[in-house]
């Protein structure tokens, strides 16, 4: 893939330094297969972008949701910057087709995996911050956080599921981590949420919290209550 800023019109940002854009789109599997140095992949940019995103998302919600309490702001922020939401934003931008993936990862559908898409989007945010500064990153993040068709930011699914269950039963929900895979720096967790020993949902994520959140989403979509 020829990684040119003009090939990503949906970003709404033109990079001065195309090398940093190329790095943001380079997955570790591509680096490994092509014997490049570890600094060539997007993991460091992802680290930076994660911090920039949390700051700018907090600022955006603080300014645009004046009636929400601290706890409510935290829940909304968790919803809009979680892996599933970031992957959804990345798909809206068509980011998957621009990723530089190793042959094995590409053959396995890596360009559609939530984990890879969300990491790449955070790397893009980090790259925009380095290339254009905080204000450029602020504009990009604000565009992501404005939901399609004026919808409000998504709520915390675990709280939503809890509220639903409480209306029908006094028995508690039980979350459990049933699988943990991958190296220490790139763990993947799988969680279940159960009620009265019946599994309502299963979810996966880069953290236990994210896996539990995805399990709650699946349970809500199942309409058990």
Residues 6+ apart with CB under 8 A from 80: 57, 61, 145, 153, 154
CA atoms within 13 A on the CB side of 219: 30
- Tell me the torsion sign for CA atoms 159, 70, 140, 52: negative
Helix (H, G, I), strand (E, B) or coil at 61: helix
What phi, psi does 194 have (nearest 5°)? -125, 155
Give the integer Cα–Cα distance in Å for 113 and 63.
32
Task: Kindly state the DSSP code that residue 153 receives in the 8-state scheme.
Answer: P
Number of neighbouring beta carbons within 10 Å of residue 124: 29
Q: Give the catalytic positions in this structure.
A: 50, 122
User: Using CA atoms, how far apart are residues 29 and 51, in angstroms rounded to an integer?
Assistant: 24
Q: Structure tokens of 210?
A: 């994210």
Q: How far is 138 from 144, CA to CA, in rounded Å?
A: 10
The beta-strand segments (E) located in the chain are 173-181, 188-195, 198-205
Phi and psi torsions of 181, nearest 5°: -130, 165
Alpha-carbon span 55 to 99, nearest angstrom: 26
């Amino acid at each position: 893939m020829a990684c040119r800023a003009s090939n990503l019109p949906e970003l709404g940002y033109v990079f001065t330094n195309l090398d940093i854009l190329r790095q943001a789109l380079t997955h570790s599997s591509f680096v490994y297969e092509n014997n490049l140095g570890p600094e060539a992949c997007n993991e460091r940019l992802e680290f930076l972008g994660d911090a920039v995103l949390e700051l700018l998302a907090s600022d955006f919600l603080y300014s645009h949701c004046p009636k929400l309490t601290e706890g409510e702001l935290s829940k909304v922020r968790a919803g809009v910057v979680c892996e599933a939401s970031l992957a959804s934003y990345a798909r809206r931008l068509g980011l998957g087709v621009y990723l530089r993936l190793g042959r094995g990862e590409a053959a396995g559908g890596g360009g559609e995996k939530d984990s890879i898409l969300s990491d790449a989007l955070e790397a893009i945010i980090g790259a925009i911050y380095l290339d254009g500064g905080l204000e450029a990153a602020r504009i990009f993040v604000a565009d992501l956080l404005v939901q399609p068709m004026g919808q409000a930011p998504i709520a915390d699914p675990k709280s939503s599921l809890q509220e639903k269950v409480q209306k029908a039963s006094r028995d508690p929900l039980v979350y459990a981590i049933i699988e943990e895979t991958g190296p220490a720096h790139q763990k993947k967790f799988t969680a279940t949420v159960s009620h009265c020993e019946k599994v309502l949902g299963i979810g996966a994520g880069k953290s236990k919290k994210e896996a539990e959140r995805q399990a709650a989403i699946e349970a809500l979509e199942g309409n058990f209550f």
